Amino acid sequence: MTLRTLPATVLYNSPISMALSDLDIVAAKKRIAGKGFIAALDQSGGSTPKALAAYGIEESGWGGDKEKMFDLMHAMRTRIIVNRAFDRRISGAILFEKTMNSQIEGVFTADYLWQKKQIVPFLKVDEGLEEEQNGVQLMKPMAGLEGRLKSAASRNVFGTKMRSVVHSANAAGISAIVAQQFDAGKTILESGLMPILEPEVNIKSPDKSACEMLLRDAIITHLDTLPKDAQIMLKLTLPSEPGFFASLIQHPRVLRVVALSGGYSCRDANEKLAQNPGMTASFSRALVEDLRANQSDEEFTAALDAAIESIYRASLT
């Protein structure tokens, strides 16, 4: 079975008959809206050395050779994805572009995820962050977005993810960050892909609660401007006040609200997630924090299974 994408006018605005080619899109949306969480396997660029170091592979392991570094990262991701613990408890996985264009057991990664495991593939599409201004870090201009979206569609990817960061409760900055996310999100919708908007709030912000209030209100304003049948996804920092994002979770323009771990340990992130009914996880560091390159297959499977089970249970609230 191959995951197929359709134009946004078909996906969101047109009453259509359920042709065979449409069924995978419907199945993918159902998977994301149902039980399970999204694994974030999209570390890229500057975050890759840190991810490898946490896994037990220091920079000396690739000696400044970036291609070898990315090969080691793909090997780590492959070990996770093919593992039997990486199963139906996971509804989706976010990939780095190089991972999307690489293969697992002779099959492109997105196809392997969907065909072998019924896990919905997403692609990270942002190109990093600007320097902080007005209390936020906007995304760098995405000159290659159109080409990246075409590539994602050709690789049978269902949706995308893009990240920016809020550091302080600056109304102008937060307004700009939400506007940028939605502008790019509309382009992604028009390409037939599902956008995950990720305006992260820094968990160390001294006015985190105020940031979240401004962010939530700005998001609702933009959601209300979307076409009636359009839907997006949101990836948000676990809020200071339990249940604070209920209005976003229940909004008809939102398919799913997922949570990033944001630097919390897996245990702390799970505790906070369980206090937010309707929110599910999209963890990265918290998912892999106990995985090591030198673990035996049995040790690796046990550590991965324990993390997946704990995150899955926290996501069921």
Catalytic residue list: 198, 235
Of 212, 214, 159, the residue nearest 188 (C-alpha): 159
Give the integer Cα–Cα distance in Å for 229 and 260.
26
Give start and end residues of each alpha helix (H) in the chain.
8, 23-33, 47-55, 66-82, 97-100, 109-111, 117, 145-154, 171-190, 208-223, 246-249, 266-273, 285-288, 297-314
CA–CA distances in Å: residue 52 to residues 18, 248, 302: 44, 35, 20
End-to-end CA distance of the chain: 31
Q: Apex CA 96: angle with CA 92 and CA 100, to 5°?
A: 75
Give the integer Cα–Cα distance in Å for 113 and 158.
11
